[in-house]
Every structure is written in structure tokens, then in C-alpha cells.
Amino acid sequence: FRWKIWMCHMAELALKIAAFVFIFVALLHSARVVLKVKVTIGKFVVPLWLSLVGIIVALLLASLMLRSI
């Protein structure tokens, strides 16, 4: 019975850590948009609007994880 409680706490911790990572990713995308940092992968220039999508998706995932706790 104790291992079930322990596993539940570990699952909550994992969700909190994952949510924190997604919030950090959203902050990095926000910094890119505010500072207008250009990102190039090979010859492809990544548009700034893609970071806006990244902000929305990362915050959505983080909120879903935090709500499930």
C-alpha cells in the first residue's frame, strides 16, 4: 500500500517538473520574440511567428499538467 502512495507522489513531482520545463520553454520563446532574435537552421530562417505558436503550446501543456495534479 505504501508503494502506491509513493508512486502517486512521484507522479505528481514528475508532472510539476515537466510543467516547469514547459514554462521555461515558453519564457525562452517570449524572450526570442521580445528581443527579435534571428534563428537559422542550416539555410532555413525560423520565423518569429513560430515562437508565438511555441509560447501558446508550451503554456497550454504546462497548464494541463498542473490541472491534472
Tens-of-pLDDT digits for all 69 residues of the chain? 799 999 999 999 999 999 999 999 999 999 999 999 999 999 999 999 999 999 999 999 999 999 998
Q: Check: CB of residue 30 under 8 Å from CB of residue 11.
A: no
The residue count for the chain: 69
pTM: 0.89
Distance CA 16, CA 29 (A): 20
